């Protein structure tokens, strides 16, 4: 696997530091029992994600992307094969994982204010009150919502709600951030803002990210590596290193001829041509 082949423009200072991948999937297969017979969502998925890496998983609808992410989070167990987090098998959700779900409206708790939502993971970890308040304020500031703490999530726009969800996932400083099509329900303008936000936050927190999307442009723009999976059953068709320079920029990066090249290549893979 390509765990340690990180090129210098990826995350500064991360190259070659860590030999154990943050996550690895080994021949993961997932079959769901269904009314019309068993359905194979994933077949033989194998890849590693190295510390500090930004990996994007792309695939068409029905490629088992969400199943893959739930397996990486420890929310679902593979039918066969193995999922490892920091070298240990994933039997349940480890404390060092953060997940941002696609539907912030379903994931944020509407009975809690923004600050209380973000505070929840700290509260259950027994963090003291004053430190909780400081960390909530800091993480809300780093997602660009310094004044939203007293609001309720449903009083905010969709993009702002997803920022809250990101803040909540970062508040307890996980090693790995999993994102399941997190920007699929916001408008294009907001989406670009959130993409840049996640690149900045990833730098700031030095966090490993696995980002699931069906949008190839988004994957190429964000990733160090793109893992392309095919439609049902999901198998890894190719892993593509993205060597576009960082920091990336919505206009110049996307105008880079290499961007168009990656895009074309991945589109061919995903569309199975």
Contacting positions for other proteins (CB under 8 A)? 70, 73, 75, 92-93, 95, 97-99, 101, 103, 106-107, 109-111, 120-121, 124-125, 152, 154-155, 168-169, 172
Residue by residue, what is the 3-state secondary structure of 41-57?
A: EEEEEEEEECCCCEEEE
Closest to other proteins by CB, 11 or 169: 169
| Min separation Cβ 95 and other proteins, Å | 5
Q: For residues 9 and 30, what is the distance between their CA atoms, to the nearest angstrom?
A: 35
Reply yes or no: is the peptide bond before residue 233 cis, omega within 30 of 0: yes
| Min separation Cβ 93 and other proteins, Å | 5
Q: For residues 219 and 217, what is the distance between their CA atoms, to the nearest angstrom?
A: 5
Closest to other proteins by CB, 75 or 137: 75
Q: For residues 247 and 199, what is the distance between their CA atoms, to the nearest angstrom?
A: 9
Closest to other proteins by CB, 152 or 205: 152
| Min separation Cβ 212 and other proteins, Å | 15
Contact 166, 121 (CB under 8 A): no
| Min separation Cβ 111 and other proteins, Å | 4
| Min separation Cβ 129 and other proteins, Å | 17
Contact 51, 14 (CB under 8 A): yes
The SS3 assignment for 254 reads helix
Closest to other proteins by CB, 95 or 245: 95
Give me the phi and psi of 63, to 5 degrees please.
Answer: -90, 5
Closest to other proteins by CB, 124 or 260: 124
């Amino acid at each position: 696997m390509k765990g340690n082949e990180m090129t210098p423009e990826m995350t500064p200072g991360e190259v070659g530091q860590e030999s154990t991948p943050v996550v690895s999937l080994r021949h993961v297969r997932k079959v769901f029992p269904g009314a019309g017979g068993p359905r194979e969502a994933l077949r033989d998925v194998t890849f590693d994600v190295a510390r500090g890496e930004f990996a994007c998983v792309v695939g068409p609808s029905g490629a088992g992307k969400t199943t893959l992410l739930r397996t990486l989070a420890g929310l679902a167990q593979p039918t066969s094969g193995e999922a490892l987090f920091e070298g240990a098998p994933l039997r349940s959700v480890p404390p060092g994982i953060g997940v941002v779900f696609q539907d912030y409206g379903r994931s944020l708790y509407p009975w809690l204010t923004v600050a209380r939502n973000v505070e929840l993971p700290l509260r259950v970890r027994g963090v003291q009150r004053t430190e909780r308040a400081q960390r909530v304020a800091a993480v809300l500031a780093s997602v660009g919502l310094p004044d939203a703490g007293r609001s309720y999530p449903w009083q905010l726009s969709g993009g702002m709600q997803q920022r809250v969800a990101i803040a909540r996932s970062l508040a307890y400083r996980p090693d790995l951030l999993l994102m399941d099509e997190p920007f699929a329900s916001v408008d294009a303008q907001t989406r670009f803002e959130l993409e840049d936000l996640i690149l900045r936050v990833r730098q700031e927190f030095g966090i490993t990210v696995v980002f699931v999307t069906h949008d190839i442009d988004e994957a190429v723009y964000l990733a160090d590596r793109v893992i392309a999976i095919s439609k049902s059953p999901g198998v890894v068709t190719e892993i593509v290193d993205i060597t576009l320079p960082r920091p990336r920029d919505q206009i110049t990066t996307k105008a880079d001829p290499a961007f168009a090249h990656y895009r074309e290549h991945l589109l061919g893979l995903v569309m199975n041509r």
